[in-house]
Structure formats: C-alpha cells, structure tokens
Amino acid sequence: MPTLCRPAVSVPEFVITMEQTLEFAERMHAGKPQLGLALRLIRNTGVRKRHLVQPIEKALHHPGFEERNRIYEAEAKKRCPEVIDRALANAGVTATDIDLIIYVSCTGFMMPSLTAWLINEMGFRSDTRQLPIAQLGCAAGGAAINRAHDFCTAYPGSNVLIVSCELCSLCYQPSDDNIGALLSDGLFGDAVAAAVVRGEGGTGIALERNASYLIPHTEDWISYAVRSSGFHFQLDRRVPGTMEPMAPVLRELATRHGWDAANLDFYVIHAGGPRILDDLAKFLAVDRTMFRHSWATLTEHGNIASAVVLDAVRRLFEEGSMTPGATGVIAGFGPGITAEMVVGTWTVDPLLPVGRIPISASVPGPAELAPVAGAVAV
C-alpha cells in the first residue's frame, strides 16, 4: 500500500514577528479606511512569526513582476535540493528510485517546470515522469499526496517525490489595501517541503482512500488577479465559513471507508486560518487539540500554502505518538473552493531492523542539523 513517509521542511532565515507585521502594516497602509479592521483580523490569526526569503524591508519593495519571478526561480533552485535530499533519506530511497516528481507551487512561474531542472541536477532518471501543479493554491499539498496515491496504485511498486515551494512573500502588492489583501499580508509565510510516497515499504501514513470536492459556484472566493505587476491575491469574506459545508464531505469519506470522522487518531488539516481550524473541529465534533499539528504550523510559520499539510505531517512524525494501525485524515483546502482529502493508517516498515529506532521517534540526524545556508531546517 502506498505510504507517505516523513517529510522534510525548510523555512528561510528572515523572520517577521506579529508585532513587526502590525507595525509595517500601519506604516505602509496608513490612512486606508480598511486598516483598523485588517489589523484586528491579523491579531486574531494567532500567527506568532513567519519566515521570508528576503529581509522585510526588501520584501516590501516591489521591483516588478519580472524581477520577482527571477528571485522565485533562484530561491527555488537554491532551497529545494537540500530539502529533497532529506526527504529521500527519510524514506530510505535514492533519486534513481523515484518514478514521478510532483512539484506544487502557486507563488512563481517557470517553464519548463523546476522538475526538469531537478532531474538534470540531482541525479533523477531521465524517464522520471513530471507533474507540476500550479493553480490549486493551498489545496495543492493535499492534491499532490492524492495524485501520488493514485500513481502508486496504478503502477504498483513505484515511488513518488512531492516537492512544495511556496514563497508567498514574493506576491506582496504594496498598492493592494482591501481587507483580503491586507489579511493575507499578515498570514502567509514562505517554506519549502518535500516528501516521498513509497509504493512498497516505508514508515508513515499508508494511504487508503482519497477524494476531491469543489463547493459549487465559489471559484471567485479565492483567486489571483494576474496583472502587469504580478499576482494580486483576492480573498472573499465568505471563505472562513466554508467548513460547515465541507465537514459533511470529510465525514462521508470516512464513512465510506468504514470509519467515524469524529473518532480518528490523527488529523492533518490545512491551516488556512484560526476559524478554518476551529469551525472544522466543531462541525466534525472533534476536540480542537486533535488539530494541534496544524495549529503549531499556523503559529510558528503562518499559512505556508501547499506546504502546510507536509509540515503538519512532519510534526506528527516528530511527536512520535503514533502506533501501527492508528487512523487519520489529511485535508487540504484551496481555490475552487476545493478540498483534497485522504484517509490512511499509520504503518511501520516491516523490514525495519530489530532494535532500530523508527524515524518517527528518532532524534535529528546529521543531514537535518546541517541545512543549506539561508534556511532553517525543521
């Protein structure tokens, strides 16, 4: 059964705190009629700090769409390889074992995709399949896991590498002062994440059943307006209320699998914001502490788009509390409004040598303690 192995995650070295976010927002958007409400909403996100690929003063400056996209490409090529190396090591595979690379990102554009560069530069086979996903936003992390599950089911024994590179700070638009834009300025952070789905073996979440769902006629609730200055994020005020119609969909997925969505052992939920997490817990009748890994990601990194679910899975591994047979769900939400969901069971590699500490309970190895310059490995 396809197994999602321990992810590797890296966040950039430049940090902005909640207090700094509020200070810069007041300075950059002084006198704007929506500022007071935006500041209150930002305070309520619970985001303590975020990581950026550039110092905040540089991030606030808009050098033009072309230059921003150049920075995106340079930073992606600089930061992804080290994270990928750790993800491969976590899964006990090498680059030549990978049959498909799924690359997800909604914060920059490259053609050919970064997948082509990775194959050429990191020793992946020339016949490695490529699947870039660029327009599912925050839902793309869940979508990548689901497409990896589908691929490994269709081609038994195959291995899939998932790479998420989200440099949200490169989408900041100084001229945007609507509530959605201002809130996103205080919510989103930068991160790179990677994980392997093994077709056979591996310790982690054995993926058993996945599903997608789109709430009808909500496609303009989360979107980009693409202009000469780049991507302008648009967020409808109705988005936080989408968990009421989404909860029954998650419940039905679990029911079809013979499980009770209110009584699982772990929950990995997209940390789009505090109300998303609180409402989903309420409508699923689950204690909010069951979403603790998603809450931790939101608090420490902000909303890191498609990388959220991989970071929350990483935290699940590090907690070391799962035992074989534990049941759970992964759910990513994004533009559409789209949900990508999968249920699975915790499994331990049967070939794990006796006496060896499972990676979920191990201390960081040398690779994790020696990240690339300009990144914080977690």
Positions marked catalytic: 138
Any idea which residue has 């794990």 for tokens? 352
Mark 220-255 as b/e (b = at least 16 C-beta within 10 Å): ebbbbeeeeebbbbbbbeebeebbeebbebbbebbe
Per-residue tokens: 23: 């200070």
**DSSP codes, 151-185:** HHHHSTT-EEEEEEEEEGGGG--TT--SHHHHHHH
Separation between Cα atoms, residue 378 and residue 376, nearest integer Å: 6
Distance from C-alpha of 136 to C-alpha of 42, rounded to nearest angstrom: 24
* DSSP one-letter string for 255-287: HHTT--TTS-SEEEE--S-HHHHHHHHHHHT--
What's the CA gap between 186 and 39, in Å, rounded? 9
Q: Residue 172 burial (CB < 10 Å; 0-12/13-18/19+)?
A: buried
Question: Angle at Cα 8 formed by Cα 5 and Cα 13, nearest 5°?
Answer: 170
Residue 224 DSSP SS3 = strand
Element (H, E) at 130: strand 129-133
Q: Which residues contact 80 (CB under 8 A, 6 or more apart)?
A: 114, 118, 163, 165, 192, 194
323 token code pair: 């035992």
